[in-house]
Amino acid sequence: MTNATRIDGKAKAAELSAVISAETEKLLQEHNLKPGLAVVIVGEDPASQVYVRNKKRMAEACGFHSEQHTLAGNANQDEVLKLIADLNDDTAIHGILVQLPLPGHLDEHAITQSILPSKDVDGFHYINIGKLTAGDTADAFVPCTPAGCMLMIEDHLGSDLSGKNAVVIGRSNIVGKPMASLLLAANATVTITHSRTNDLPGVVAAADIVVAAVGRPNMVKGNWIKPGAVVIDVGINRIDVEVDGETKSKLTGDVDYDAVSKIAAAVTPVPGGVGPMTIIMLMSNTLRSAKLSLATGVSIGSS
C-alpha cells in the first residue's frame, strides 16, 4: 500500500497568505483601512514568546497594523482588563488576542470574555461560540485551529461531508467542540470522544475523518485507523528522544505518524501541519473583522 498524502499546512498557509496580503492591499487602496491586530502577552513564558513572535511576523507580512502589548508576569487582573478595554475602544484595532495560558493568579475566563465579540479573532467569546454552535457564522469568528483543520479536510474530501463519519478526539472549547460544530455544518456524522470513552480504538476505526486534539504523544496508532481515512493531528507535544547517544527534544503530535501514514489516505505532520494554518486563520479572521467594521461602521457586539 502506498503511503498517505502528507498534508502540507505550511504550503497551504503560504497560499492563503498571498490571498490575504492582496485583499489587505485592496482594502488600503479602496478604503484607506489597514487591518489591525493587537496581541497581549502576560509574563515571560518561552513558548508563548515564540507563538507571539510568529503571529506578529505573519501580521506584518500580510500588511497589517500589528501591536504587541507585553505585561509583567505579576500584572493584576485590573491592569489586563484595562488594557483590553482600551483596545476594544481603539478603532485602529480589529482583532485582539490574549496569548494563553495566562499566569495562574489571573482569571482567564473573565479576561477572554472581556474582548468585544467583534474583535475576538480567536473565537473564544461565548457570543461567537453560540453563533458557531447555532450555525450562524455570518458575523462570527470561528476558532483558528478548527477553521484551519476544516480547510485541510475540504481540500481532500470537498465541502459537503454527507455520508462521512468523523471522530474528534478531545472535547476542549478551543478545538474539540468547535471542530465538531464545523464538521456537523458540513453534514458529517460526528462523534466526540475523550478520556471517558469506552473502546476508543474501536470508535476511531469507523471514522472516515479523524481529528486528534488530546495532547498525548503518539496516542493514535496505525491499527486504530480505517484504510483511506483523512487524519488531522492537532497535538503539539515535546518529547525527549535519543539521537547518537544524546538526548534531544523533538516535537511530535497525538498521532503515530509513521504507522498511520501507511493506512490513511492523508495525514498532517507535526510540525508543519495544523500549526501554520492556525496562524493564517488568525490573519483571515482579523481581515474579516476589518471588512465587517467597514460594512457596519460600528464594532459588532458593542453596546
CATH class entry, domain 144-277: alpha beta
103: exposed, middle or buried (Cβ count in 10 Å: 0-12, 13-18, 19+): middle
Q: State the CB neighbour count (10 A cutoff) for residue 302.
A: 12
Spot the catalytic one: 55, 119, 131, 164.
Answer: 55
Single out the residue of 215, 141, 216, 125 nearest to residue 182, CA to CA: 141
> Would residue 195 be called left, alpha or beta, if left means φ above 0 and alpha means ψ between -120 and 50 degrees?
alpha
Query: CA-CA distance, 36 to 19, in Å (whole number)?
Result: 17
Residue with cell 497568505: 17
Looking at residue 283, its pLDDT comes to 98
Looking at residue 6, its pLDDT comes to 97
Q: Are 65 and 35 in contact (CB under 8 A)?
A: yes
Looking at residue 2, its pLDDT comes to 63
Which amino acid would we find at residue 133? T
Which amino acid would we find at residue 104? G
Looking at residue 297, its pLDDT comes to 60
Single out the residue of 147, 100, 142, 102 nearest to residue 125, CA to CA: 142
Query: CA-CA distance, 235 to 37, in Å (whole number)?
Result: 26
**Domain spans of the chain, in order of start:** 32-117, 144-277
144-277 and 32-117 share a CATH fold: yes
Query: CA-CA distance, 171 to 190, in Å (whole number)?
Result: 12
Q: State the CB neighbour count (10 A cutoff) for residue 254.
A: 25
Per-residue pLDDT of the chain in tens (303 residues, 90 and over written 9)? 568 999 999 999 999 999 999 999 999 999 999 999 999 999 988 888 989 999 999 999 999 999 999 999 999 999 999 999 999 999 999 999 999 999 999 999 999 999 999 999 999 999 999 999 999 989 999 999 999 999 999 999 999 999 999 999 999 999 999 999 999 999 999 999 998 999 999 999 999 999 999 999 999 999 999 999 999 999 999 888 888 888 888 889 999 999 999 999 999 999 999 999 999 999 999 999 999 998 776 444 333
Spot the catalytic one: 12, 119, 122, 226.
Answer: 122
195: exposed, middle or buried (Cβ count in 10 Å: 0-12, 13-18, 19+): exposed
DSSP 220: B
CATH number of 32-117: 3.40.50.10860
User: Residue 246: beta bridge partners?
Assistant: 243
Looking at residue 303, its pLDDT comes to 30
Spot the catalytic one: 12, 99, 119, 208.
Answer: 99
- Catalytic, 68? Answer no
Looking at residue 202, its pLDDT comes to 98
Looking at residue 153, its pLDDT comes to 98
- Catalytic, 49? Answer no
- Catalytic, 122? Answer yes
